[in-house]
Structure 1
Amino acid sequence: MLPGVFGVLPADAQAQMVAAGRVGRWARGGLLFHPEDPAETLHLLTRGTVRLYRLGSGAREVTLDVHGAGALLGASTLLHNERYGVYAEAMDDTETLMIGQETLSRLTRTYPPVGVALTEQVTRQTRGVQERLAGLVFLEVSQRLALALLNLAEREGPWPEGGTLALRERVSHQDLAHVVGSTRETITKLLGDFRTRGLLDLGYRRIILTDRTGLQQATREPLR
Structure 2
Amino acid sequence: MKKNNTTASLKNVSLFHDLTQLEIEKVEEITISRFLSKKSIVFSEGSEKEAVYFIKQGLVKTYKTDENGHEQIVSFLKAGDMFPHTGFFNQNPYPATAETIVDTELLAIPLQMFEHLMMNTPSIGIKMMRVMGDIIMELQQRLQVLSGKDVKQRALSFLLKLAEQHGIEKNENTIIINVPMTHQEFANSVGTTRETINRLLNQLGKDDILKVDRNRIVITDVEALKEQMEFK
TM-score range, shorter chain: 0.7 to 0.9
CA distance in 1, matches of 2:193, 2:127: 36
**Where does 1:1-224 land on structure 2 (aligned, <5 Å)?**
1=8, 2=10, 3-5=12-14, 6-7=16-17, 9-74=19-84, 75=86, 77-80=88-91, 82-112=92-122, 114-156=124-166, 159=169, 162-222=172-232
Structure 1 residues 163 and 113, CA gap change in structure 2 (3 angstroms): farther
Decide whether the 8 Å contact of 2:167 with 2:175 is kept in 1. no
2: CA distance, partners of 1:57 / 1:67: 25
Q: 1:163 offset after TM fit, Å?
A: 4.0
Q: Aligned with 1:36: secondary structure?
A: coil
SS of corresponding position for 1:57:
coil
**2:197, 2:148 → 1: CA distance?**
18
TM-score w.r.t. the length of structure 2 is 0.78
Shift of 1:86: 2.4
> How far apart in 2 are the matches of 1:184 and 1:15?
46
Stretches (4+) displaced over 6 A? none
Partner SS state of residue 140, structure 2: helix
1:27–1:218 distance in 2 versus 1, CA, 3 Å:
farther
Secondary structure at 2:192 match in 1: coil
Question: Secondary structure at 1:59's aligned position in 2?
Answer: coil
- What are the Cα deviations for residues 79-106 of structure 1, in whole angstroms up to 9, with x where unaligned? 24x3224222223333321111221123
Query: 1:63/1:160 Cα in 2 relative to 1: closer, same or farther (>3 Å)?
Result: closer
Equivalent position amino acid for 2:49 in 1? A
What are the ranges of 5 or more consecutive residues in structure 1 without an aligned counterpart? none
Give the drift of 1:77.
4.4
The answer to whether the 8 A contact 1:49-1:66 is kept is yes
* Structure 1 residues 123 and 161, CA gap change in structure 2 (3 angstroms): same
* 2:168/2:176 contact within 8 Å kept: no
Q: How far did residue 110 of structure 1 move? A: 4.4
The aligned length equals: 221
- CA RMSD in angstroms, aligned pairs only: 2.8
Q: Distance in 1 between the 2:31 and 2:201 partners?
A: 41
Counterpart Cα distance in 1 of 2:38 and 2:134: 25
